[in-house]
Amino acid sequence: MIAVAPGLDVAPELRARLADLFGAYDEALEQGDFECWPEFFTENCFYQIIPRETYALGLPLGLLQAESRGMLADRVAALRKTTLYAPRIVRRLVGSIVLRAIEPDGMRLSASFAAFQTMLNEPSQVFLCGRLYDRVVDDDGTLRFAERICVTDATLVPISLVFPI
Protein backbone atom coordinates (compact mmCIF):
# COMPACT_ATOMS: atom_id res chain seq x y z
CA MET A 1 0.00 0.00 0.00
CA ILE A 2 1.00 3.55 -0.57
CA ALA A 3 1.72 5.07 2.83
CA VAL A 4 0.74 8.68 3.36
CA ALA A 5 2.66 11.29 5.34
CA PRO A 6 1.08 12.61 8.54
CA GLY A 7 -1.49 15.34 7.92
CA LEU A 8 -2.27 14.38 4.34
CA ASP A 9 -5.84 13.37 3.67
CA VAL A 10 -5.97 11.00 0.74
CA ALA A 11 -8.86 8.93 -0.59
CA PRO A 12 -8.37 5.15 -0.74
CA GLU A 13 -8.94 5.36 -4.51
CA LEU A 14 -5.90 7.57 -4.95
CA ARG A 15 -3.76 5.23 -2.88
CA ALA A 16 -4.89 2.41 -5.13
CA ARG A 17 -4.20 4.35 -8.33
CA LEU A 18 -0.70 5.22 -7.17
CA ALA A 19 0.00 1.61 -6.20
CA ASP A 20 -1.19 0.56 -9.66
CA LEU A 21 1.18 3.03 -11.33
CA PHE A 22 4.20 1.69 -9.46
CA GLY A 23 3.07 -1.89 -10.02
CA ALA A 24 2.61 -1.42 -13.76
CA TYR A 25 6.03 0.26 -14.00
CA ASP A 26 7.68 -2.70 -12.22
CA GLU A 27 5.82 -5.14 -14.40
CA ALA A 28 6.84 -3.43 -17.65
CA LEU A 29 10.52 -3.41 -16.70
CA GLU A 30 10.33 -6.97 -15.45
CA GLN A 31 8.92 -8.12 -18.76
CA GLY A 32 11.78 -6.37 -20.53
CA ASP A 33 9.14 -4.21 -22.15
CA PHE A 34 11.45 -1.21 -22.34
CA GLU A 35 9.65 0.28 -25.31
CA CYS A 36 6.70 0.95 -23.00
CA TRP A 37 8.90 2.55 -20.38
CA PRO A 38 8.75 6.14 -21.72
CA GLU A 39 4.94 5.93 -21.62
CA PHE A 40 5.08 6.05 -17.82
CA PHE A 41 6.48 9.56 -18.05
CA THR A 42 5.02 12.86 -19.11
CA GLU A 43 6.16 14.46 -22.35
CA ASN A 44 8.37 16.95 -20.51
CA CYS A 45 9.60 14.68 -17.79
CA PHE A 46 12.83 14.69 -15.87
CA TYR A 47 14.59 11.39 -15.23
CA GLN A 48 17.90 11.18 -13.47
CA ILE A 49 20.20 8.66 -11.83
CA ILE A 50 22.48 10.46 -9.43
CA PRO A 51 24.75 9.31 -6.58
CA ARG A 52 23.72 10.35 -3.07
CA GLU A 53 26.96 12.25 -2.62
CA THR A 54 26.33 14.47 -5.63
CA TYR A 55 22.63 14.87 -4.88
CA ALA A 56 23.27 15.88 -1.28
CA LEU A 57 25.65 18.61 -2.42
CA GLY A 58 22.97 19.98 -4.73
CA LEU A 59 25.10 19.38 -7.78
CA PRO A 60 23.02 19.02 -10.89
CA LEU A 61 24.84 16.39 -12.90
CA GLY A 62 23.65 12.82 -12.74
CA LEU A 63 25.14 9.66 -14.17
CA LEU A 64 22.26 9.56 -16.53
CA GLN A 65 19.76 12.23 -17.34
CA ALA A 66 16.79 12.66 -19.65
CA GLU A 67 14.61 15.71 -19.99
CA SER A 68 11.81 14.44 -22.16
CA ARG A 69 9.97 11.30 -23.12
CA GLY A 70 11.85 11.33 -26.42
CA MET A 71 15.18 11.19 -24.62
CA LEU A 72 13.95 8.18 -22.67
CA ALA A 73 13.01 6.50 -25.94
CA ASP A 74 16.54 7.21 -27.19
CA ARG A 75 17.92 5.46 -24.14
CA VAL A 76 15.84 2.40 -24.87
CA ALA A 77 17.06 2.36 -28.46
CA ALA A 78 20.65 2.58 -27.18
CA LEU A 79 19.96 -0.20 -24.71
CA ARG A 80 18.63 -2.46 -27.45
CA LYS A 81 21.82 -2.00 -29.42
CA THR A 82 24.29 -2.56 -26.62
CA THR A 83 26.00 -5.91 -26.46
CA LEU A 84 25.73 -5.78 -22.70
CA TYR A 85 22.02 -6.42 -22.82
CA ALA A 86 21.72 -10.15 -23.33
CA PRO A 87 23.94 -11.70 -20.72
CA ARG A 88 22.51 -10.18 -17.56
CA ILE A 89 19.22 -9.91 -15.73
CA VAL A 90 18.42 -6.95 -13.51
CA ARG A 91 15.91 -7.53 -10.73
CA ARG A 92 14.39 -4.52 -8.93
CA LEU A 93 12.82 -4.62 -5.50
CA VAL A 94 10.98 -1.53 -4.26
CA GLY A 95 10.10 -1.01 -0.61
CA SER A 96 7.16 0.84 0.83
CA ILE A 97 6.11 3.87 -1.17
CA VAL A 98 5.40 7.05 0.75
CA LEU A 99 3.26 9.92 -0.52
CA ARG A 100 5.09 12.78 1.12
CA ALA A 101 3.24 15.82 -0.15
CA ILE A 102 0.65 17.04 -2.59
CA GLU A 103 1.84 20.23 -4.24
CA PRO A 104 0.48 22.37 -7.06
CA ASP A 105 2.90 20.77 -9.52
CA GLY A 106 2.17 17.20 -8.47
CA MET A 107 2.39 14.53 -5.82
CA ARG A 108 5.75 13.87 -4.22
CA LEU A 109 6.51 10.26 -3.44
CA SER A 110 9.56 8.34 -2.38
CA ALA A 111 10.57 4.72 -1.94
CA SER A 112 13.74 2.76 -1.32
CA PHE A 113 14.92 0.25 -3.88
CA ALA A 114 17.51 -2.45 -4.32
CA ALA A 115 18.59 -3.87 -7.65
CA PHE A 116 20.18 -7.27 -8.15
CA GLN A 117 22.17 -8.38 -11.14
CA THR A 118 22.62 -11.88 -12.45
CA MET A 119 25.30 -12.62 -15.01
CA LEU A 120 25.24 -15.78 -17.08
CA ASN A 121 26.28 -18.79 -14.99
CA GLU A 122 26.87 -16.68 -11.92
CA PRO A 123 24.89 -16.23 -8.73
CA SER A 124 22.69 -13.15 -8.23
CA GLN A 125 24.26 -10.16 -6.52
CA VAL A 126 23.24 -6.79 -5.17
CA PHE A 127 24.42 -4.21 -7.64
CA LEU A 128 22.70 -1.02 -6.58
CA CYS A 129 20.46 0.42 -3.92
CA GLY A 130 19.08 3.83 -3.13
CA ARG A 131 15.97 5.94 -2.98
CA LEU A 132 13.50 7.05 -5.64
CA TYR A 133 12.17 10.60 -5.42
CA ASP A 134 9.17 10.97 -7.67
CA ARG A 135 6.74 13.62 -8.79
CA VAL A 136 3.56 12.15 -10.18
CA VAL A 137 0.88 14.09 -12.03
CA ASP A 138 -2.51 13.32 -13.46
CA ASP A 139 -1.85 13.60 -17.19
CA ASP A 140 -5.28 13.74 -18.84
CA GLY A 141 -6.67 11.04 -16.60
CA THR A 142 -3.56 8.87 -16.46
CA LEU A 143 -1.04 9.05 -13.62
CA ARG A 144 2.46 9.60 -14.96
CA PHE A 145 5.90 10.41 -13.64
CA ALA A 146 6.77 14.04 -14.27
CA GLU A 147 9.99 13.42 -12.40
CA ARG A 148 11.89 10.39 -11.20
CA ILE A 149 15.19 10.92 -9.48
CA CYS A 150 16.99 7.69 -8.57
CA VAL A 151 19.51 8.57 -5.90
CA THR A 152 22.04 5.76 -5.59
CA ASP A 153 23.82 5.09 -2.32
CA ALA A 154 27.03 4.17 -4.10
CA THR A 155 29.09 6.77 -5.87
CA LEU A 156 30.55 4.32 -8.31
CA VAL A 157 27.81 2.70 -10.24
CA PRO A 158 28.38 -0.34 -12.46
CA ILE A 159 28.09 -0.08 -16.20
CA SER A 160 24.81 -1.97 -16.32
CA LEU A 161 23.16 1.25 -15.30
CA VAL A 162 21.95 1.39 -18.85
CA PHE A 163 18.91 -0.42 -17.51
CA PRO A 164 15.93 1.68 -16.44
CA ILE A 165 15.36 1.82 -12.68
110 phi, psi to nearest 5 deg: -145, 160
Residue 66 or 97 with smaller CB distance to a second copy: 97
- Select the residue interacting with a second copy from 2, 66, 149, 165 (CB under 8 A): 2
Question: CA–CA distance from 31 to each of 52, 89, 90, 110, 143 (Å)?
Answer: 28, 11, 11, 23, 21
130 forms part of the interface with a second copy (CB under 8 A): yes
User: Which 36-55 residues touch a second copy, going by CB under 8 A?
Assistant: 52
- Applying CB under 8 A, the span of 42-50, 62-70, 71-79, 113-121 interacting with a second copy comes to 113-121
User: Which 18-37 residues touch a second copy, going by CB under 8 A?
Assistant: 19-24, 26-27, 30
Please answer whether residues 105 and 137 qualify as being in contact, where contact means their C-beta atoms are separated by less than 8 angstroms.
yes
Indicate if the alpha-carbon torsion angle 71, 77, 82, 85 is positive or negative. positive
Rounded-to-integer distance, Cα 145 and Cα 41, Å: 5
Contact string 140-159 vs a second copy (x = CB under 8 A): -------------xxxx-x-
131 forms part of the interface with a second copy (CB under 8 A): yes
Smallest distance, a second copy to C-beta of residue 154, A:
5
